[in-house]
Amino acid sequence: MTGPGDGYLRVTLPPTRWEQDEEKPVLFLLWVLAVILVIAGIVQLFKGQLLWGIVLIIVGFAVGPGGYSIFK
């Protein structure tokens, strides 16, 4: 049996963002929303709405994984 004084070091790391089960559905929904916003932005660019298309793409990048957070 191994115990606290047997020379082994036990290291436990905190769960990462993807390992927390509570956040996975929210992260997935944010990812889907980001994809929809970017696709809508690209469609607007093809329709000639340059400003609206750029705004939608930037918002999509901000919402997506690794995006900007107002809570930091």
pLDDT in tens, 24-46: 777 888 889 999 999 999 999 99
pTM comes to 0.63
Residue 30's pLDDT is 87
> Within a 10 A sphere around the Cβ of 56, how many other Cβ atoms?
21
Alpha-carbon span 26 to 9, nearest angstrom: 35
Residue 3's contacts (CB-CB under 8 Å, 6 or more residues apart) are none
**Length of the chain counted residue by residue:** 72
Helix H or strand E segment including 43: helix 24-47
State the Cα–Cα distance between residues 66 and 8, nearest whole angstrom: 36
